[in-house]
Amino acid sequence: MRIERIEVRRLTLPLLHPFETSFARSTEKNFLLVSVSALGATGYGEAVADDDPYYLPETNATVLHVIRDFLAPLLLALKLDHPREVFPAFARVRGHEMAKAALEMAVWDLYARLQNAPLSRVLGGEKRTIESGVSIGLQPSTDALLESVAREVAAGYRRIKIKIKPGADRALVAAVRGRFPQVPLMVDANSAYTLAQAALFRELDRERLMMVEQPLAWDDIVDHATLQQQIRTAVCLDESIRSVEDARRALDLGSCRIINIKPGRVGGFTASLAIHDLCRARAIPVWCGGMLESGIGRLANVHLQTLPGFTLPGDTAASARYFEEDLVDPPVTVSREGAVTVPAGPGLGHEIVWARVQKATRFKEEWRSR
């Protein structure tokens, strides 16, 4: 198969509630949606970059630049038998995993649609439902946080993650633990600390957290190894793992005991499968993170989590927590038991609502094979 057409759209969706982390506060979701077409079908991939480089270095502008000037020409020149050939074909381009992932995941979706198979099946996954946790942003007050945790526990989410930052950490954790002694709980610092603050994480050992996610620098695996040696709680890496090689080095060093796989962060599904397989061989649990994706990226994450190594609940909460109207119909929903049903239809498996995509589109650009 040859890809005949690639389109990139820039979309803006208002967020129902602002989402605050140690690095930013977002009130809307601005992202790029990639479409790839061949043989009368089209597949979709959502880029996970933001307008700013505060989570990782890529931005929507760099993703568009790298797709337009480097990746789209490479993809249009490829003769493909299987989507696993896309990621290696991008190898000459260093980094830019978010740009690579958006295109690569669109090709997987296209391939699944052409096979008339759910994406989960072509990825090799077997689960029919996956378990969801929820990520709760920094709140205006501890009471607001407790109220939010109570709401999500009642909704059925299987694990609560709260964001922390210097000055908003031990007291928040103690308050949530005090009120919910048994809830599976974890924290995510998004790289807000340094090793000089290791004492905080030694204190948090008392709170029976499932893990602490990305406490130290976004590009570090050395200090994380030192920290992991000093605490009992498992360190989970998010930002620091952008390839299977990053994962191998981190595991060799003992930098973490859990890995968060976001396909949009590591270059797509092929890289995600490689990290999954590596972790499985070393008995390291993995789970799938989220990036406040629309239903398109959210469903991609749902399909990936059908693989057997995803043994911990992911950040794949219901569309209704984020958006008034999602871009897919039906939206992603979560049962009272915290489960998401894996769509059985071809590709991502839910219809894309084009009127909503059009309404959210700010501009688009396309490239065709000659």
**If contact means CB under 5 to 8 A according to the sort of partner, which of Mg ion, ligand OSB, none does residue 290 touch?**
ligand OSB
261 touches ligand OSB (CB under 6 A): no
Give me the least distance between CB of 315 and ligand OSB, in Å please: 4
**If contact means CB under 5 to 8 A according to the sort of partner, which of Mg ion, ligand OSB, none does residue 292 touch?**
ligand OSB
CA distances from 116 to 112, 142, 235, 345 (A): 6, 48, 40, 8
Give me the least distance between CB of 297 and ligand OSB, in Å please: 9
Could you tell me which stretch among 17-25, 210-218, 303-311, 352-360 binds Mg ion (CB under 5 A)? 210-218
288 touches ligand OSB (CB under 6 A): no
- Site of tokens 């974890």: 186
**If contact means CB under 5 to 8 A according to the sort of partner, which of ligand OSB, Mg ion, none does residue 59 touch?**
none
Give 231's DSSP letter: -
Structure-block tokens of residue 194: 């340094």
Give me the least distance between CB of 157 and ligand OSB, in Å please: 11
Q: Which of 29, 262, 359, 364 is catalytic?
A: 262
* Peptide bond before residue 330 is cis, with ω within 30 degrees of 0: yes
Q: Is the dihedral of CA 331, 264, 105, 249 positive or negative?
A: negative
Could you tell me which stretch among 61-69, 115-123, 248-256, 290-298 binds ligand OSB (CB under 6 A)? 290-298
> For residue 113, how far is the Cα from the chain centroid?
22
87 touches ligand OSB (CB under 6 A): no
Beta bridge partners of 41: 38
CA distances from 293 to 77, 178, 194 (A): 29, 32, 29
Which residue stretches of 215-328 are H helix? 222-230, 244-253, 263-266, 269-281, 295-304
Q: Which of 29, 127, 163, 359 is catalytic?
A: 163
Give me the least distance between CB of 300 and Mg ion, in Å please: 17
State the binding string over 235-274 for Mg ion (x if CB under 5 A, else -).
---x------------------------------------
Cβ closer to Mg ion: 89 or 234?
Answer: 234
Clarify whether 359 is annotated catalytic. no
From CA 108, how far away is CA 115, in angstroms rounded? 11
Structure-block tokens of residue 94: 């260093």
Amino acid at 132: S
**Quick count: other Cβ atoms within 10 Å of Cβ 281?**
10
315 touches ligand OSB (CB under 6 A): yes
148 touches ligand OSB (CB under 6 A): no
From CA 302, how far away is CA 266, in angstroms rounded? 16
Clarify whether 262 is annotated catalytic. yes
164 touches ligand OSB (CB under 6 A): no
Say if residues 215 and 163 touch (Cβ distance below 8 Å). no
Give me the least distance between CB of 290 and Mg ion, in Å please: 9
Binding footprint of ligand OSB on the chain (CB under 6 A):
55, 135, 188, 190, 238, 289-292, 315, 317
Binding footprint of Mg ion on the chain (CB under 5 A):
188, 213, 238
